[in-house]
């Protein structure tokens, strides 16, 4: 049974009614001047911003660069499904979602529970989403409305809930991505996806509730067209965007969240209120994987497209030295950092601008670089990168999976990750 709000001891809740003084000050809104739908959206912002995590419960851990962690036990290997892009959008995801329908419904119910924990008025947000999000589905580009309709039917969820479920993955990803080159010039791309920050720290088990719910949803997807593999990606079942993917012989891609004051909530509110000039991050990366035919073309799409949320795109090519980190604001690209400038044989990104120091309480960059230097270029491989990404705090309580990609062969393998105590929460 879940503890009542505030009883966990390590999660403290503020008063989060959208027009109460705490929340209004937090989001800077003046509720009396807003239309009802705008008040609902500011409520969402207030709810998402109200959890303050205490570090009092953080267990002591030993920061070290581990070796010999690969391969993990076979039961941690993620299953692969085929999604046929020649099928009508409404039919593409049916077999995946039917297998994972219970887990999808469970995590959506958990999202709603946390919203209601923060404020009883969150029920108004939930009701507003159920009423209005189905019509917003029609504002999305092809093929996403059809795919979400099919997911709704296969899962038994309302269409508005499926749209909200997909929207959720635009936020809360706290990740580490690496592109590295071996002595022969072969490029490997690996990433940890950490998810669920501020969403329910269980002090009894030292786990994040949402991260625990997410792990059973992780699937590999092999996208096919004309009977041939087009690209491969890692998904949470029911999510139609791309966070991690490889296009065989051409390029690899991962996305890391970029925290910024002009962040995704603002872009999402603008989209809901009628400004559709920006692209959802996951839809942009999906279009890139489907349509780009080279590293250069993928880079152009990712640098030139206006977006709803800031992000880091970690892009790897198929030639020696061909990799970069693209630092994005919503409207423009701030920086393209090539691997040659990052040190020559690898490039690494967490969730901070590479020219700035990471936050002291969330410095995964320094230990990850330390482990890469210990690894050396001579030992770059699937197993070597898995070791780096299995080293605390690069591996932490938020880590849901590690994905390993090699562009020339189109190889993708994904492993469910857990961080045993003592381990850092994020």
Kindly indicate the confidence band of residue 223, based on its pLDDT and cuts at 50, 70 and 90: very high
Closest CA to 190 of 340, 382, 343: 382
pLDDT of 261 reads 61
pLDDT of 198 reads 62
Closest CA to 15 of 47, 45, 40: 47
Distance CA 407, CA 412 (A): 9
Q: Say if CB 407 and CB 251 are below 8 A apart.
A: yes
Closest CA to 358 of 211, 254, 256: 256
Q: Is 175 a catalytic residue?
A: yes
Q: What is the DSSP letter of 92?
A: T
pLDDT of 51 reads 39
Contacts of 254 (CB under 8 A, 6+ apart): 175, 177, 189, 191, 243, 244, 245, 313, 314, 403
Closest CA to 79 of 415, 401, 389, 405: 415
pLDDT of 115 reads 72
Q: Rounded mean pLDDT of 207-233?
A: 95
Q: Measuring CA to CA, how many Å separate 68 from each of 125, 181, 387?
A: 48, 20, 7
CB atoms < 10 A from the CB of 299, how many? 21
Q: Rounded mean pLDDT of 258-286?
A: 77
pLDDT at position 293 over 60: yes
Kindly indicate the confidence band of residue 60, based on its pLDDT and cuts at 50, 70 and 90: low
- The fraction of the chain above a pLDDT of 90, given in percent, is 60
pLDDT of 110 reads 85
pLDDT at position 286 over 90: yes
The predicted-structure confidence for 63-83, as pLDDT tens digits, reads as follows 789 999 999 999 999 999 999
Distance CA 42, CA 50 (A): 12
Distance CA 86, CA 202 (A): 44
Report which of residues 413 and 35 the model is more confident about: 413
Q: Say if CB 325 and CB 337 are below 8 A apart.
A: yes
Q: Rounded mean pLDDT of 284-304?
A: 98
Closest CA to 180 of 349, 298, 390: 349
pLDDT of 3 reads 41
pLDDT of 328 reads 96
Q: Say if CB 306 and CB 343 are below 8 A apart.
A: no
Mean pLDDT of the chain: 84
pLDDT of 262 reads 64
pLDDT of 383 reads 98
Q: Say if CB 151 and CB 162 are below 8 A apart.
A: yes
| Pairing mode, strands 399-406 and 346-349 | unpaired
Q: Say if CB 339 and CB 321 are below 8 A apart.
A: yes
pLDDT of 379 reads 98
Among the options 175, 324, 371, 423, which is catalytic? 175
| DSSP secondary structure of 371-405 | HHHHH-GGG-SHHHHHHHHTSTTTS-TTEEEEEEE
Distance CA 19, CA 40 (A): 10
Report which of residues 312 and 36 the model is more confident about: 312
The predicted-structure confidence for 6-22, as pLDDT tens digits, reads as follows 333 334 333 344 344 33
Contacts of 54 (CB under 8 A, 6+ apart): 9, 10, 11, 12
Report which of residues 57 and 233 the model is more confident about: 233
Q: Rounded mean pLDDT of 185-202?
A: 86
Distance CA 259, CA 262 (A): 9
pLDDT of 34 reads 45
The predicted-structure confidence for 106-160, as pLDDT tens digits, reads as follows 998 887 787 777 677 778 767 877 777 777 767 889 999 999 999 999 999 999 8
- 252 forms beta bridges with 246, 316
pLDDT of 162 reads 92
Assign residue 321 a region (left: φ > 0; alpha: ψ between -120 and 50; beta: otherwise): left
pLDDT of 172 reads 62
pLDDT of 359 reads 87
CA angle 155–205–55, rounded 5-degree value: 110
Distance CA 153, CA 314 (A): 34
Report which of residues 35 and 387 the model is more confident about: 387
Kindly indicate the confidence band of residue 356, based on its pLDDT and cuts at 50, 70 and 90: very high
Q: Say if CB 122 and CB 47 are below 8 A apart.
A: yes
pTM: 0.85
Q: Rounded mean pLDDT of 94-98?
A: 98
pLDDT of 5 reads 33
Distance CA 425, CA 419 (A): 9
């Amino acid at each position: 049974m879940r503890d009542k709000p505030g009883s966990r001891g390590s999660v403290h809740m503020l008063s989060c009614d959208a027009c109460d003084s705490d929340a209004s000050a937090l989001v800077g809104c003046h509720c009396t001047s807003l239309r009802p739908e705008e008040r609902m959206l500011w409520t969402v912002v207030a709810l998402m911003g109200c959890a303050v995590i205490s570090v009092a419960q953080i267990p002591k851990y030993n920061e070290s660069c581990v070796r010999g962690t690969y391969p993990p036990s076979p039961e941690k290997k993620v299953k692969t499904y085929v999604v046929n892009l020649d099928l009508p959008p409404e039919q593409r995801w049916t077999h995946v979602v039917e297998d994972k329908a219970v887990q999808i419904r469970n995590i959506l119910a958990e999202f709603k529970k946390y919203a209601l924990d923060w404020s009883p008025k969150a029920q108004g947000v939930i009701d507003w989403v159920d009423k209005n999000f189905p019509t917003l589905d029609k504002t999305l580009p092809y093929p996403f409305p059809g795919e979400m309709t099919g997911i709704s039917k296969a899962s038994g969820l309302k269409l508005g809930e499926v749209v909200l479920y997909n929207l959720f993955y635009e936020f809360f990803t706290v990740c580490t991505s690496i592109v590295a080159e071996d002595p022969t010039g072969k490029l490997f791309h690996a990433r940890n996806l950490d998810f669920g920050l501020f969403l329910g720290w269980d002090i009894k088990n030292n786990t994040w509730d949402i991260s625990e719910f997410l792990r059973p949803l992780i699937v590999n997807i092999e996208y096919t067209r004309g009977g041939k593999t087009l690209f491969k990606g890692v998904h949470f079942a029911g999510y139609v965007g791309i966070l991690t993917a490889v296009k065989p012989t051409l390029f690899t891609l991962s996305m890391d969240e970029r925290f910024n004051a002009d962040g995704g909530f603002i872009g999402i509110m603008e989209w809901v209120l009628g400004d559709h000039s920006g692209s959802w991050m996951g839809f942009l990366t999906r279009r890139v994987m489907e349509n780009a035919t080279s590293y250069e073309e993928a880079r152009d799409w990712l640098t030139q497209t206006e977006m709803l949320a800031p992000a880091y795109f970690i892009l790897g090519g198929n030639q020696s030295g061909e990799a970069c980190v693209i630092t994005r604001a919503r409207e423009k690209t701030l920086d393209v950092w090539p691997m040659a400038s990052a040190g020559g044989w690898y490039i690494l990104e967490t969730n901070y601008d590479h020219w700035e120091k990471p936050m002291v309480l969330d410095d995964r960059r320094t230990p990850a670089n330390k482990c890469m230097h210990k690894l050396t270029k001579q030992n770059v491989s699937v197993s070597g990168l898995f070791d780096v990404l299995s080293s605390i705090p690069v591996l932490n309580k938020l880590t849901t999976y590690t994905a390993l990609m090699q562009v020339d062969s189109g190889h993708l393998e994904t492993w469910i990750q857990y961080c045993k105590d003592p381990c850092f929460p994020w």
